[in-house]
Amino acid sequence: MKNDRQAMIIAIIKEQVIGTQEELGEALKNRGIMVTQATLSRDIKELGLIKIPTPEGYYRYSLPQDRTPGDLLRRAQRMFEDAVISVDYAENLIVVKTTGGNAQGVAAALDDLDWPEVVGTVAGDNTILMVIRSKEAVSEILKRFNQLRR
């Protein structure tokens, strides 16, 4: 749930000019996600959202332009710990099973890592399909997954 909500927050601030927590909460509500102000505040902090000026002189939420690889890795680790149930593979395909509703958030975190061996990810509700460039690279990705799980 948390991972989905945070993925939805990212999508909203990329699509809309959102300047306040109230506006963000309303945008989430319009998409069927109810949150308290405290939860929204924690999500904003965890996502590292910043406020940037708009040409009109207002401020809006944005993702930091310079998210470090360490930030991205910590987010992926947290999501793996919270949501990943199992990982399996066949040839150059990896299938990641997550708790219900968390696949898209985990896939977004994996995409943000920008691993060169990964062609792409496709996420459903609780399953992620990763296409890896070669079968030989799968073992390296699986090692990285084990590191994400700590």
For the entire predicted model, the pTM comes to 0.60
Task: Give 45's Cβ-side CA count (13 Å radius).
Answer: 6
Condensed to tens digits (0 to 9), the pLDDT of residues 22-41 reads 999 999 999 999 999 999 99
C-alpha to C-alpha distance for 85 and 99, rounded to whole angstroms:
7
Is 80 exceeded by the pLDDT of residue 65? no
> Whole-angstrom Cα distance, residue 129 to residue 92?
10
Residue 55 sits at φ, ψ, to 5 deg, of -60, -25
Q: Residue 66 pLDDT more than 60?
A: no
pLDDT on residue 67? 63
Q: Which residues contact 86 (CB under 8 A, 6 or more apart)?
A: 96, 97
Q: Are 9 and 47 in contact (CB under 8 A)?
A: yes
Mean residue pLDDT across the chain: 90
Res. 116: pLDDT tops 90: yes
Q: Which helix (H) or strand (E) holds 93?
A: strand 93-98
Go through the domains of the chain in sequence order and give each one's CATH number.
2-62 (1.10.10.10), 69-148 (3.30.1360.40)
Q: What is the mean pLDDT of residues 11-18?
A: 92
Q: What band does 75 get if pLDDT is binned at 50, 70 and 90?
A: confident
Structure letter (DSSP) for residue 58: -
Mean pLDDT lowest among 40-49, 68-77, 79-88, 138-147:
68-77
